[in-house]
Structure 1
Amino acid sequence: MDADPLDGSAAPSWPGRSEGDPRPGATPPAAAAGPASGGTGDVERLRRLLGTEPLAWLVERVRRRMAQGQPLAGVVTLPKATHEQRRAVERLLGRRAGSGYSLSVSLDEVDRMLRHSGAAPDGLAAAVTLLTGPVDETVTAAAAEAAAWAAARAPLEGLVDRRPELAPWLAWLDGTGLLRRLAGDPAAAGALAGPLVAVLDGLPSPGVALGRLATTLAGDAHALDDGRPLATLALAGARVLAGSGPAGGGSAAERRATWAAVGVHLDELSSTVLCLGLPGGPGSAAGRLLAVAHEAGEPCVLTLRQVTGRGGERADPGVGAGPVFVCENPAVLATAADELGRAAPPLVCVNGQPSAAVLGLLDALAAGGARLAYHGDFDWRGLRIANGLRDRVPWEPWRFDAAAYEEALDAVGGGPLSGHPVDASWDPALRPALERRAVRLAEELVLPALLADLAAAGRGVASA
């Protein structure tokens, strides 16, 4: 029952009603158009039946229901009805309207009366439209728009159902309204959703150029260029897949590192890897570069182009089945170069999130049988990097487990640990240890122990 406390003391102001016109049933301009205003009917009879001032409250109730997309059925009630309002309802329906504090009218009864009398053969809605002009169905339109947005978003929900690790990304999109802001309307959002799902479903990649990924999955080589809507949305998902938050830092270096972390490189020259002590060999250009650097005891920077070689031919690192140490931070490698020089054993630096060049070189080393040993920062980001790397290539911890963490904390101090906890796939005891001690331990703080290991390994390599 509609019991809105509209007492009918003031005439409503629907579109086209003459403001300040005291005459009951004053003709609104919209009604002058007759049937062209919507539906068919006898406008003059409708003015006499429904267009009087005592029935203005009823017409307004009907308009409100039409605007809200509600059915014109059931009973509407007017509290504090006046004698004139009761008499008007009696004249409209041809029966007594009852007595009491409130006045109730059946919309179904009014609709039947209007249809059968011929005043409005199309019913109550058409009658109100003829009298007062078209109704703006705002709620109906809003519901239709909401349904359109939901349909546009549905492919993203399907993606998250298949890959639950992307749930934080979709929650962030919903919370920030980023998809709506970038797309502008549901049709554009739907057009974005298909390529977006295809791109994220293809990550992480075994190693592909960004332009080729865009061409293959989005049909446009520039669809993933910086600033394009698809790139912004996909990059947020890539960050989550790489173990970070969806927002990111916004710098070009951060974007490049994010793509690299999921196996996508911007080009073959901007992606690089820093290494030391790799013997190299004559079988490839990169192998010869490594050999020269090794002879000089100097670090070597290889591009992705040099790592993969022309035609996809891999570099020749010259290690074979020997040991290779892998560190997270360049300071470790730089110090090893300074202190050990030519005596340094093979060492590769991932430099934060591994780039495509880093992954390519480690793939080549692993394919040759090298035994990788990894060390990184004792913090949540360090664990995420290590987990991602372990998903790509096999490695054993190098002073990078719970026992090493506890031992290091007894000798050096660290900083406060912050961020979202994550398990260490290689040592289930490491996460509880970090949570219990709540201390972040950067790789540089244990540099003396790492250098001692590298020196011992270098002597072993030299004597072999």
Structure 2
Amino acid sequence: MTADRDRLRRLLDREDTAWLLDRMRRRLVNGKPLSGVVTLTSATHDQRRAVERLLGRRAGTGTSLTLSLDELDAVLRRSGAAPDGLADVVRLLIGTVPERAAEIAAWAAVYAPLDELVARRPGLATWRTWLDATGMVRRLAPDPGTASTLITSVVKVLDELPSDGVALGRLAAKTTRDAHGLDEGRPLTTLVLSAARVLAGSLPSGAGSAAERRAAWAAVGVHLDELSSSVMCLGLPGGAQTTTGKMLALTREAGEPCVLTLRQLVRDDVDLGVGDGRVWMCENPIVLASAADELGPACPPLVCVNGQPSTAVWRLLDMLVAGGARLSYHGDFDWGGVRIGNTLRERFPWQPWRFDTAAYQAAEATGGELTGRPVDASWDRGLRSALEQRGVRVEEELVLPALINDLRADRR
């Protein structure tokens, strides 16, 4: 059967249905299916009557007019006016969409590798949805050919992430054959970094600051260079076999914090001197500094993750856990602190250090209003509910005396 062009013109090629035909044309041009619903706000009486004639039923009341394209497709097929469905209707009545068919197919092919990637890694589904919602790929690549090359590179880079620790330039050289292929501002960098944020449990858009971008890379094991990525620690015994081990031993003897670069941690087979002992972890440098002030050389091993862990932090913690160390962690009682805790928990089986529902409810001093997007705490399912009910944040600075007392009781 062939479509009845004259009948279709009487039904759809008219002033009061022009909006509907245009909506269908735009969907095809944008590579979207002719399904779901379309809505016309402030519909006129004639526009509403035209839809009623199409569907053979009342179109509801109110100022807006909503029409199911699936229902319209079924009606036109059954009536014989358009046996091949709505796509054929648009082709017959407008005649311009077929010229875009190849382009539409090309754009659909562009996204296929992304869909395959998400099928393998469901954790990227939020990122994939964000790409569609923002049209980010089309904004960065003007045509399907350019976009296809871009997406191929994106998939290649993401297949390498997360990493155990790699310099950004090396990652770029390996995946793009260009050491500057992931430099800031490039389309590839924009797409990969948005995916990295999602892998780290954040929103794909990010804050946009240099510090935020550095943290997003670090969360998937990518550092901008071996010297800028560092970790603060206090009380690690160290050893006499390596330069870094000697430095740790000296700073412990002096009761002073030590800052280690990623370069030191990856180039030295560092003797950390902890073995299977406990290592305390905090979120903020103030805890480390206060412990140095009050406990000095008597402070037990303490590592500061300093917000979202850097590659150097991950490296040090990996080394400690590989040696048998037992980790205990405290962070800020706010949504950002919970996310950091979740990120650590995904990698290491740390135990809460006054960082659970009971500790939050017992905290008398409180900060400001709790804001941000709620998230479950993977180590304590009741913590989210407690935070939401109380609605205030409790930073580490507000519970310092209790934390210092715990460290004092663990003197070695």
- Counterparts of 1:277 and 1:406, CA distance in 2: 30
Q: Distance in 2 between matches of 1:423 and 1:205?
A: 25
1:325 alignment partner AA? W
What aligned pairs does 1:324-335 form with structure 2 within 5 A after superposition?
324-335=279-290
Selected match of 1:398 from 322, 329, 353: 353
Offset, 1:314: 3.3
Q: Given the alignment, which residue of 141, 150, 160 partners 1:192?
A: 150
Aligned twin of 1:337:
292
Equivalent of 1:380 in 328, 335, 338: 335
Deviations 1:199-256 (A, max 9, x none): 2233221112212222223333221111111111000000111111111122222111
Give the aligned partner of residue 128 of structure 2: 170
TM-score in terms of structure 1 length: 0.67
Q: State the alpha-carbon separation in 2 of the partners of residues 201 and 277 from structure 1.
A: 38
Matched with 1:287 is 245
| 1:276 Cα deviation from its structure 2 partner | 0.8
Structure 1 residue 435: deviation in Å? 2.5
Percent identity over the alignment is 65
Does 2:323 correspond to 1:368?
A: yes
Equivalent AA in structure 1 for residue 384 of structure 2:
R
Match of 1:23 in 2: none
Structure 1 counterpart SS, 2:6 = coil
TM-score, normalised relative to structure 2:
0.75
2:179 matched to which residue of 1?
221
Contact 1:314 / 1:364 at 8 angstroms: preserved in 2?
Answer: no
Report if the CA contact (8 A) 1:208-1:265 is conserved.
yes
Provide the residue aligned with 1:357 in structure 2: 312
Structure 2 unaligned blocks of 5 or more = 11-27, 30-93
**What's the offset of the Cα at 1:393?**
2.3
Note the 1:440-455 alignment, pairs <5 A: 440-455=393-408
Q: What secondary structure is seen at the aligned counterpart in 2 of 1:142? A: helix
Instruction: Please say which structure displays the higher CA radius of gyration.
Output: 1
Distance between the aligned counterparts of 2:6 and 2:254, measured in 1?
90
Unaligned residue ranges in structure 1 (runs of 5+): 6-67, 70-135
Aligned residues: 327
SS of equivalent to 2:410: helix
- 2:200 counterpart of 1:247: no
AA matched with 2:235: G
Q: Distance in 2 between matches of 1:209 and 1:455?
A: 38
1:415 pairs with 2:373: no
Instruction: Supply the distance in 1 between the matched residues of 2:122 and 2:163 (Cα, whole angstroms).
Output: 18
SS, match of residue 440 in structure 1? coil
Over 4 Å off, 4+ runs: none
1:78 is matched with which residue? none
Cα pair 1:325 1:347 within 8 Å, conserved: yes
Query: What pairs up with 1:10-25 in 2 under 5 angstroms?
Result: none
Matched, 1:431 2:398: no
Give, as a single letter, the amino acid of the residue that structure 2 aligns with 1:161.
Answer: A
1:456 aligns with 2:412: no
Question: Structure 2 matches for 1:66-215, cutoff 5 A?
Answer: 138-215=96-173
Counterpart amino acid of residue 364 in structure 1: M
Cα offset, 1:137, TM superposition: 6.1
